Amino acid sequence: MQVQKTLQDLSNRINDQPQGITGLHAIYHFVLSGEEGGTYEIVFADNQADYTLGVTREAGCKLELSDKDFIKLVEGRLNPTVAFVTGKLKISGEMGLSFKLQTILHHYQTQK
């Protein structure tokens, strides 16, 4: 349940202060391995963030990593560039969206 709690907390922070996603319309899929593995979808639209377990639409960017590394990524304890270079993170789709996601996560980081 840690992944879902992390996603809920992130969504709440974004929806409470949406200036970090103003005008963004994007869909991301996170394909996670581990105990809480599965595909999680995050949709940014109308200055809001919403997530679901499972796929409802086609994503512009797909990221594959472990559930533990996902939590570290969202909390700011995992450098996405290092994770990508070392193979902990795989990215497919629009690379520009992956950079945008990095900016969003940095803006809403739980650990500074």
Note the pLDDT tens digit of each residue in 56-81. 999 999 999 999 999 999 999 999 99
Residue-level pLDDT at 102: 94
Residue-level pLDDT at 1: 80
Give the CB-side neighbour count of residue 90, counting CA atoms within 13 A: 7
Q: How many residues belong to the chain?
A: 112
Per-residue pLDDT of the chain (112 residues; tens, 9 = 90+): 899 999 999 999 999 999 999 999 999 999 999 999 999 999 999 999 999 999 999 999 999 999 999 999 999 999 999 999 999 999 999 999 999 999 999 999 854 4
Contact 58, 93 (CB under 8 A): no
Residue 15 CB contacts under 8 Å (≥ 6 apart), including other chains:
48, 49
Residue-level pLDDT at 111: 45
Look up the pTM and report it.
0.93
Alpha-carbon gap, residue 28 to 6, rounded angstroms:
16
Residue-level pLDDT at 69: 97
